[in-house]
Chains A and B, each alone.
Chain A
Amino acid sequence: MTEYSLSFKPSGDNGILITFGEEISVETHNRIRSFMAFFEDHKEEYQIIEMIPAYTTILMIYDPLKINYKELCLKLQKVEGKYKDISKAPREVIQIPVVYGGSYGPDLESVASHNNLTVEEIIKIHTGGRYLIYMMGFTPGFPYLGGMSEKIATPRLTVPREKIIAGSVGIAGSQTGIYPIDSPGGWQIIGRTPLQLFNPLREEVTLFKAGQYLSFYSISEEDFIRISKEVLENTYKVQKTTFKEVEDHD
């Protein structure tokens, strides 16, 4: 794979911030994923405690009692080129059922009128996309998604809501996202999914991880109630498909 230069900066006495590029891009994201995959298998060798991948960086937390900053930098420089490019490996696409509009998506109509589109067109565009999870963060289980059509971009609410119910699907600027837990927020809420993005008692505590894709599909209120019940009873099986990246998909 192509040689790139990484830059390292200390983030305290037990952290190292590795920068892979300046701009948010699928290429940078793929390099970060490849790097993460390599270190999942080599954590001990490099005295790594944990890693937090983001859009353009990885924050690596290491054990400074076992390796010092300079040693780690030297070792990391030698890693370049060693790790496998996994960007062409098949990707999981997680299917997210969403009830659009009504009390589930109180801002759907204003998103439509802001963009001079009908409600149906907004739903068609939103469900037509495939969204890459660049990173997780902000709150437990929250995916930072890329790939939303500019046609439905809408600014945040001027006055944020005090409580947005977990599962709410929203738009903020040219981003779309899902609230994993009840929280205050200013996103334009267009619908809600019955899936639990975060459940601390589940074996897989978060529904997503960075590098997966999401796509949304429209369901009825009856479906929402049925799926909610199945989720609570732990009988719902999340639908996943895979696709192989062949060319630019954004």
Chain B
Amino acid sequence: MTKIQILKAGILTTIQDFGRIGYQQYGIPTSGGMDLYSLELANLLVGNQATEGALEFTMMPPSIAFHGEVDFAVTGGDFQPLLNNHPITMYQTQRAYRGDILSFKGLKSGCRGYLAVAGGFDIPIIMGSKSTYLRGAFGGLEGKRLKDGDLLQLNKPTEKPIINRIPHNMIPDYTVTNRTIRVVMGPEDDTFTPEGKEVFLHSQYQLTNQADRMGLRFDGPKVSHTKAADIVSGGINLGAIQVPGEGKPIIMMADHQTTGGYTKIANVISVDIPYLAQLKPGDSISFKEVSIEEAQELLAMQRSKIDGLKNQEDNTSNRKNLFIKSYNINVNGRIYKVDVEELKG
């Protein structure tokens, strides 16, 4: 199968999938995409399993050369993708041909972008996952961030995409820079004073520069503990909001340590974690408490919407060959976007 080559890697471009499941009891973080929603949509657009590995790039986008014909899709934060220097639409299946170059004008909104290619990357699966874990130096391409010149071998695609574009109402809005993040309180919310909890739920917190795949450290009004900020070390979930003694929240992200000894006031709900992944230093958030029932219902609704995309295909199985492609056509220096519906055989 064909290859892609990283021409410019950006500052932090890694291969991530849905992460390593089952190894946290040995101290091994799950890793995986920071914004799994965008990663999944990208995969669906190219006919991959939802959990396949994709490129995750951060703040500074890569540029990539295609060595052969392959479908791809770009999702996540808006880096303004260009194919051979012409703008292409995100959240839509695109096709590249030998010699095509994917680049990006630059970051417009969000913080992390995803590029899925049909078939996925042909790299070793370590502990059930292709995800790169930089601190442990394993996964992805030899445990490292991608660098200029890296070649990535692709697998042969097995399925046609179930859908070629994501409906507008399912494309997340990453332009908001003072978002409300919903949380389920606990498990150690009883180690905080009532005032501390009030402050936590009614203040704005600004993302500091200490923000990486492991965690996001915020600045803002101090959340006070009743006694100590330390507890007997225990397991940490994704999205846990730790508050150490200084009273500033730290949200645990994809590469977080499996165990820790700081009190956790609350946990970000699953459907809001992708929004955290798209925050840049300086962006603000505030926290809103929701019930666990509401959080689980929101997750179920999101899942049924994604599954709905797949069912659309089932309902129209007689139109299985319908395939919409977008072309950018350059006529006298003006670029026209043309959608073509192919009806094969």
User: Which of the 9-residue segments A138-146, A152-160, A187-195 touches chain B?
Assistant: A138-146
B186 adjacent to A11 (CB under 8 Å): yes
Q: Does chain A have a CB within 8 A of B106?
A: no
Provide the A175-210 mask, 1 if CB < 8 A to any CB of B, else 0: 000001100000000000000001011000110011
A55-B235 contact in complex given A50-B21, A138-B257, A140-B136, C-beta closer than 8 Å:
no
Contact of A138 among B137, B240, B259, B295 (CB under 8 A): B259
Flag if B270 contacts A14 (CB, 8 Å): yes
B273-307 vs A: 1/0 string, CB under 8 Å?
Answer: 00000000000000000001101100110010000
B24 at interface by CB-CB < 8 Å: yes
Q: In the complex, which residue of chain A has the Cβ closest to the Cβ of B124? A: A201
CA distance A52 to B187 in the complex (A): 15
Interface size bracket, B side: 35 or more
B27:A138 contact, CB within 8 angstroms: yes
Q: Is B233 an interface residue (CB 8 A)?
A: yes
Contacts of B268 in A (CB 8 A): 12
Question: Closest 4 interchain pairs by CB?
Answer: A59-B235, A137-B259, A52-B235, A12-B267
CA distance A232 to B29 in the complex (A): 25
* Bound-complex Cα distance A68 to B294 (A): 11
Cβ distance A82 to chain B, nearest Cβ, rounded Å: 21
Q: Which residues of B contact A230 (CB under 8 A)?
A: none
Contacts A10-B184, A59-B234, A59-B235 given: A65-B21 contact, CB under 8 Å? no
| B269 CB-CB contact with A under 8 Å | yes
Q: How far, in whole Å, are A160 and B185 apart by their CA atoms in the complex?
A: 35
Tell yes or no: A217 within 8 A of B by CB.
no
Task: Write out, one digit per residue, whether chain A residues 123-145 have a CB within 8 A of any chain B CB (1) or not (0).
Answer: 00000000000011111111010
Taking the closest CB of chain A, its distance from the CB of B306, in whole angstroms, is 11
Task: Tell me the nearest residue of chain B to A22, going by C-beta.
Answer: B232
Complex-state Cα separation, A11 to B187, whole angstroms: 5
Task: Contact check, B292 vs A54: say whether CB atoms are below 8 A apart.
Answer: no
